[in-house]
Amino acid sequence: MDFGLTEEQRMVQEMARDFAEKEIGPYVEEDEENHYYRREILSKMGKLGLLGWSIPEEYGGNGMGWMEAVTALYEIAKVHTSWRLSISGNVWGPAMTINEWGTKEQKQTYIPRLVSGDSVGSFAMTEANTGSDVASMKTLAEDKGDHWLINGSKMWISGGHTCDIGLLYAVTEKGAGAKGISCFIIDYNKTPGVTRIPILKKVGMWPAPTSELVFENAMIPKENLLGPLNKGFQICMWMLNNTRMGCATGSAALSAACLEGSVQYANERTQFGKQIGKYQMIQQQIAEMKLEDEAAKYLVYRAAWLKENKLPSQQATSMAKLYGSIAAVHAANIAMKIYGSYGYSTEYPCGRWLRDAKQFETLEGTSNIHMQIISKIELGYQPNR
């Protein structure tokens, strides 16, 4: 496999890097301090085509695929990892899933709004007592003839209180476990009975909105069922195999940010009359970061290449997501050491890197879950889809 970038991919890389440095970079510290989400950045992404990956051009897609997508997201997440959620929340979550499972009318209605950035997207499956065990969810969707009646709650939903359009996973057949879950498209601006509560007490990812959703006799039109009835678990797993690429790419990019920052600091900081980068222990730490950073990046490229070529990619995606988490957390820890006392100061980004790195071990499948996926596929206990 040759992961060298084509001329077109290099242009995408440069455009995304330029966008991140000019539109996101100047506000990173301000938005961190104020826990502020700049919706206008999403709209600007849409106008540049940065939300149209792997979406047909007839629905507003940019005509490019997975390799271009991860290349662009990598540059954005390297500047501020919180913004990688917008691409997953709009494109690799709702837009791609509606494109795969939706009716023509659903595609025409929702996908263009998501890829243009005119609407903010989300997907809701996690509940207070339902994380890795998706099939144990309790939120109930009852068939009332001309509509679905939704009751229950969702927790830790990225973009839950800022989004316009979302995918909602709910039980449609009690007691059936994974075979009794369905997926729905929900327009939050037109759905009474939904209370959206911001979750403000988080360790990191402060400018990325996170929410609790409470459904109390919320009514969804019958035509908003996405895909076949009771096939929501299958749809959810298909979706996660795409959105996990956002986690994998974001973690690899955060690892790279830690490495770049540490190299710069090691060449600027002097102790005992010379740059600290001249000392063997610092060199060892930089070498460790470089090895893990390159491995994480190429695992992302490999998974993207498999997806691009429509080959089984579940194991590769889990490998990229798992190892990216390891690399990001380790790199953030080492960066904190290299920066010394200044690493513990909010004057430098080390604290943000460390806070943001830890979420990759949990989001969209814990590290333990990805260990299971990788090993079960390798042992032949489950197919590599």
Q: CATH code at 267?
A: 1.20.140.10
3-class secondary structure, 217: strand
Q: Quick one: tokens of 201?
A: 């007490």
- Domains held by the chain: number: 3
* Domain match, 373 and 239 both: yes
* Domain match, 257 and 374 both: yes
* Domain match, 298 and 274 both: yes
3-class secondary structure, 40: helix
**183 near 168, Cβ under 8 Å?**
yes
* Domain interval for residue 324: 234-379
* Domain match, 109 and 28 both: yes
Is 315 a member of any domain? yes
* Domain match, 311 and 362 both: yes
Instruction: Determine the Cα–Cα distance for residues 189 and 75; give it in Å rounded to an integer.
Output: 32
Is 198 a member of any domain? yes
* Domain match, 162 and 204 both: yes
Q: Give all strands (DSSP E) within 222-266, no chain letters.
A: 225-226
Residue owning tokens 């974001």: 250
Number of H helices, E strands in the chain: 12, 10
Instruction: Determine the Cα–Cα distance for residues 380 and 382; give it in Å rounded to an integer.
Output: 6
Last residue of a domain, one of 119, 148, 164: 119
Is 384 a member of any domain? no
Is 385 a member of any domain? no
Enumerate residues 6+ apart whose C-beta is below 8 A from 159: 85, 86, 89, 120, 121, 122, 166, 208, 209, 211
Last residue of a domain, one of 69, 89, 119: 119
* Domain match, 18 and 43 both: yes
Instruction: Determine the Cα–Cα distance for residues 370 and 156; give it in Å rounded to an integer.
Output: 19
3-class secondary structure, 36: coil
Is 168 a member of any domain? yes
pTM for the model stands at 0.95
Instruction: Determine the Cα–Cα distance for residues 100 and 104; give it in Å rounded to an integer.
Output: 10
* Domain match, 156 and 280 both: no
Give me the count of residues in the chain: 385
3-class secondary structure, 310: coil
Is 2 a member of any domain? no
Last residue of a domain, one of 230, 251, 278: 230
Render pLDDT for 150-209 as a digit per residue (tens, 0 to 9).
999 999 999 999 999 999 999 999 999 999 999 999 999 999 999 999 999 999 999 999
Q: What is the pLDDT of residue 131?
A: 83
Catalytic residues: 364
Q: Which of 324, 185, 200 is nearest to 258 (CA)?
A: 324
Q: What is the pLDDT of residue 132?
A: 85
Instruction: Determine the Cα–Cα distance for residues 33 and 348; give it in Å rounded to an integer.
Output: 13
Instruction: Determine the Cα–Cα distance for residues 278 and 275; give it in Å rounded to an integer.
Output: 6
* Domain match, 16 and 101 both: yes
**90 near 120, Cβ under 8 Å?**
yes
Q: Quick one: tokens of 385?
A: 């889809």
Backbone angles phi, psi at 63, to 5 degrees: 80, 5
Is 217 a member of any domain? yes
CA dihedral 38, 328, 320, 227 (to 10 degrees): -30
* Domain match, 209 and 274 both: no
CATH value at residue 79: 1.10.540.10
Per-residue pLDDT tens listing for the chain (385 residues): 666 889 999 999 999 999 999 999 999 999 999 999 999 999 999 999 999 999 999 999 999 999 999 999 999 999 999 999 888 899 999 999 999 999 999 999 999 999 999 999 999 999 999 888 899 999 999 999 999 999 999 999 999 999 999 999 999 999 999 999 999 999 999 999 999 999 999 999 999 999 999 999 999 999 999 999 999 999 999 999 999 999 999 999 999 999 999 999 999 999 999 999 999 999 999 999 999 999 999 999 999 999 999 999 999 999 999 999 999 999 999 999 999 999 999 999 999 999 999 999 999 999 999 999 999 999 999 999 9
Q: Which of 178, 94, 180 is nearest to 141 (CA)?
A: 180
* Domain match, 76 and 141 both: no
* Domain match, 147 and 110 both: no
**54 near 65, Cβ under 8 Å?**
yes
Is 327 a member of any domain? yes
